[in-house]
């Protein structure tokens, strides 16, 4: 008997469903999934991690600094960084590595900030070095810098809200009541979900003076007191008034920075002592090495990093006769020795991210700081009123001290002392408690008179505080006074020098330095390129090639011309003939994969001289398709040397032809057929990676072999192979048109 019981079929996973605890799935719309699962994560990253708030801090910064404040490290001695990291975990649930990295950036030793918050001892790396690693937390020590007193001055006066930490075991501040616009003084960068923030640092004294000027006159010109940003790594700021005003108005834009250097005549060398904040010494060294390897810079004999305890220093040894000014102008143009700082002043205001200009940020900070001062004044008034209330109760005792003593002495029960004093003197419970707690030695007329004598002073102080609290003008004066004190006490001279008359060298200047003369370019089938002058070519016309190699094509050009090298990895490498040394017919030439830095296994398919980038490129693929792409698609304004996605990767590339105008082209197939058509039948495509259109109809196992212009095809009777519509099968080659009868020559 056959078995009827069958194993239950396994349920296939539903990609659009959500699995519950029992393993079953329910359908859920993708929009609902995003709203329920992704949006809370995105908002958490934006609000609780990546974007700074109006006090200038991200939560990770704030938690670390407040922990150090609670540990008594503002005035106490340094302690091990590992101890600080461990204590911070009470507020920050992230791992110790993330907390320590946050701390490293805030230290004096790392030099990331104009005004570091952490006084450090030990190796904390350097902001200007990519490879200089900081020491482990068990080896370093730290405490809060005295500058942090301005962060915590009013924190115990109810100036900011205190909330529970992540496990509700302690309290932490939502913001730090900074007495100056720290959001503009401390450089900050963060990447959230769908948005980012990149705030440059400004000089503390200039920021304070600008905040004061804006309070006095909201329409003041910010450039008068805040000429530009200031960076901890120094360097030079290339002043651009229009760009600066754009950043100040919108919060978006960029500032141009460049390195500071000096020429040492004795050693014929250049010393670079300050670099832009946005780069690192290793990045600069790598770029210069790349330029030396490619031959774009030939004036440098050697370059080395001599950074030590004395500070940053990159040294460049010059070849004899090199003009240091011209060399540095070229390095500024080609390397990160001149760089841009992109600005995106995105700040959380009341939990919502907003991109604001400098003026708007100062306005928001002033409003927030005014509220902090209001809360402080109200807190002080409350404390003084409480003290005044107690003293007024004590003043009642002055009327009859003996009566107070008698009430206490004649009261049988301890719990009845306070009620009896309340009845006897007409005071409330708080006042009676205060009187009852006075020590016996202090129950005398001198003590009571000394205490009550301050009643009038307290009343005057309370009245003054209330007057300030209710007067916007006096509140503003109080803020101005605090900002002035901070500027005078902690202000430092600018580190980044502003260059008002900077003249940037243009790419045309570099072109002018390169001599231009006629040359002939020879490219072999294995990828060797020779650039030979007319004089050398007249001396010997016979070209030497590696054994088994032969000429692919030759073309007359000039020394300043560009070349495009297409490879079998769907990439195009751009270079200039001036970067290749003049060669001879007897030499093999430069091996393009090595000269241009090909990837392993990558080889040359075709070399094209684009000229002025007028015309188009024809790509013929093995599957019978052809793509017509304008040469302008490969013209770049920057010095990019490698263009990925240079052509379609759907089929192997067989031939590349560069034409200035439409011409007749012959396509040969592996099964002995040919098709002749005009390129006007192909429409140009705007994208480089287009698959193109079919031009030949291929039989089974057949493929495109090559494509050449008609004049180079060697066909005896072209009319036989001409086609009117595309795609076409073409015609079988006659014996006189077979490849062994033709002269093989590809011309691009």
577 φψ region: left (φ > 0), alpha (ψ -120 to 50), beta (else): alpha
For 539-579, strand residue ranges (E) read 551-558, 562-567, 571-576
Q: Are 553 and 746 a contacting pair, CB within 8 Å? A: yes
Residue 724: how many CA atoms within 13 Å on its side-chain side? 0
Phi, psi at 246, each rounded to 5°: -65, -45
Q: Which two tokens stand for residue 244?
A: 């600066």
Angle of helix 472-490 relative to helix 455-469, nearest 10 degrees, comes to 100
Q: Which two tokens stand for residue 62?
A: 């704030």
Q: Which two tokens stand for residue 121?
A: 């001892």
Q: Are 726 and 692 a contacting pair, CB within 8 Å? A: no
Q: Which two tokens stand for residue 60?
A: 């990770």
Q: Which two tokens stand for residue 119?
A: 């006084």
Name the β-bridge partners of 575. Answer: 563
Give, as one character, the DSSP assignment of residue 740.
G
Name the β-bridge partners of 349. Answer: 352
SS3 content of the chain, % helix, strand, coil (to 5): 35, 25, 40
Find the radius of gyration of the CA atoms of the chain.
39
Q: Which two tokens stand for residue 428?
A: 């409330």
Q: How far is CA 673 from CA 69, 695, 733, in A?
A: 85, 13, 5
Q: Is 500 labeled as catalytic in the residue annotation?
A: no
CB within 8 A of 386, min separation 6: which ones? none
Closest CA to 592 of 526, 643, 544: 526
Q: Are 342 and 293 a contacting pair, CB within 8 Å? A: no
For residue 213, the tally of other CB atoms under 10 A from its CB is 18
Instruction: Identify the burial level of 176 via C-beta atoms within 10 angstroms of its C-beta, where 0-12 means exposed, 13-18 middle and 19 or more buried.
Output: buried
Q: Which two tokens stand for residue 95?
A: 């791992």
Catalytic residue among 41, 139, 166, 500: 139
Residue labelled with tokens 């241009």: 596
Residues taking part in catalysis: 139
């Amino acid at each position: 008997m056959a078995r009827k019981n069958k194993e239950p079929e396994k349920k296939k996973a539903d990609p659009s469903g959500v699995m519950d605890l029992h393993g079953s799935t329910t359908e859920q719309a993708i929009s609902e999934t995003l709203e329920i699962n992704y949006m809370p994560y995105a908002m958490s990253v934006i609000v609780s991690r990546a974007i700074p708030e109006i006090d200038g801090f991200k939560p990770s910064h704030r938690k670390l600094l407040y922990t150090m404040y609670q540990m008594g490290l503002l005035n106490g001695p340094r302690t091990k960084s590992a101890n600080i990291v461990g204590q911070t975990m009470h507020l920050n649930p992230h791992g110790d590595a993330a907390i320590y990295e946050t701390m490293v950036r805030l230290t004096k030793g790392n030099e990331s900030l104009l005004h570091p918050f952490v006084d450090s001892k030990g190796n904390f790396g350097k902001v200007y070095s990519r490879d200089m690693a900081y020491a482990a937390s068990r080896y370093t020590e730290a405490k809060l810098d005295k500058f942090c007193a301005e962060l915590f001055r009013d924190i115990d006066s109810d100036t900011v809200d205190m909330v529970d930490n992540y496990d509700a075991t302690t309290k932490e501040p939502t913001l730090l009541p900074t007495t100056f616009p720290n959001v503009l003084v401390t450089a900050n960068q963060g990447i959230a979900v769908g948005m980012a923030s990149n705030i440059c640092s400004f000089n503390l004294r200039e920021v304070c003076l600008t905040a004061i000027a804006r309070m006095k006159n909201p329409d003041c010109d910010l450039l008068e007191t805040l000429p530009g940003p200031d960076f901890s790594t120094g360097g030079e700021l290339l002043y651009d008034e229009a760009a600066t005003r754009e950043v100040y108005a919108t919060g978006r834009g960029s500032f141009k920075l460049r390195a500071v250097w000096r020429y040492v005549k004795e050693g014929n060398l250049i010393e670079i002592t300050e670099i832009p904040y946005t780069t690192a010494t290793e990045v600069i060294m790598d770029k210069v090495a790349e330029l030396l390897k490619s031959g774009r810079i030939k004036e440098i004999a050697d370059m080395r990093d001599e950074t030590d305890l004395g500070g940053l220093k990159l040294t460049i040894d010059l070849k004899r006769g090199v003009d240091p000014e011209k060399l540095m102008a070229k390095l500024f143009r080609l390397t990160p020795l001149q760089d841009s700082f992109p600005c995106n002043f995105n700040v959380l205001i009341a939990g919502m991210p907003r991109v604001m200009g400098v003026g708007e940020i100062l306005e928001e900070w002033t409003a927030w700081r005014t509220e902090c001062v209001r809360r402080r004044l109200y807190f002080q008034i409350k404390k003084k009123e409480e003290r005044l209330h107690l003293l007024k109760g004590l003043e009642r005792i002055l009327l009859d001290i003996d009566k107070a003593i008698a009430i206490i002495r004649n009261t049988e029960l301890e719990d009845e002392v306070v009620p009896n004093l309340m009845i006897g003197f007409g005071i409330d419970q708080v006042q009676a408690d205060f009187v009852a707690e006075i020590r016996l030695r202090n129950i005398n007329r001198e003590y009571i008179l000394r205490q009550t004598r301050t009643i009038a002073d307290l009343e005057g102080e309370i009245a003054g505080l209330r007057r300030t609290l209710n007067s916007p003008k006096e509140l503003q004066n109080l803020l101005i006074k605090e900002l002035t004190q901070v500027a005078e006490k902690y202000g430092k001279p600018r580190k980044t020098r502003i260059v008002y008359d900077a003249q940037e060298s243009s790419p045309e200047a570099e072109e002018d330095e390169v001599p231009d003369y006629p040359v002939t370019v020879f490219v072999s089938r294995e990828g060797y390129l020779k650039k030979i002058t007319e004089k050398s070519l007249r001396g010997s016309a016979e070209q030497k090639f590696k054994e088994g190699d032969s000429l692919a094509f030759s073309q007359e050009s000039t020394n300043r011309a560009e070349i495009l090298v297409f490879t079998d990895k769907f990439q195009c490498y751009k270079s200039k003939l001036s970067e290749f040394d003049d060669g001879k017919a007897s030499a093999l030439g430069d091996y393009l994969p090595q000269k241009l830095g090909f990837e392993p296994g990558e080889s040359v398919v075709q070399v094209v001289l684009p000229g002025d980038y007028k015309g188009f490129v024809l790509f013929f693929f093995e599957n019978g398709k052809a793509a017509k792409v304008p040469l302008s698609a490969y013209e770049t304004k920057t010095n990019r040397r490698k263009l990925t996605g240079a052509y379609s990767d759907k089929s192997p590339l067989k031939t590349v032809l560069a034409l200035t105008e439409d011409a007749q082209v012959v396509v040969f197939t592996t099964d002995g057929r040919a098709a002749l058509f005009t390129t006007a039948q192909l429409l140009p495509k705007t994208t480089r990676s287009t698959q193109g259109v079919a031009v030949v109809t291929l039989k089974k196992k057949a493929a495109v072999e090559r494509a050449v212009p008609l004049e180079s095809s060697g066909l005896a009777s072209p009319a036989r192979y001409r086609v009117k519509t595309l795609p076409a099968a073409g015609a079988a080659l006659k014996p006189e048109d077979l490849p062994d009868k033709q002269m093989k020559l590809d011309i691009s």
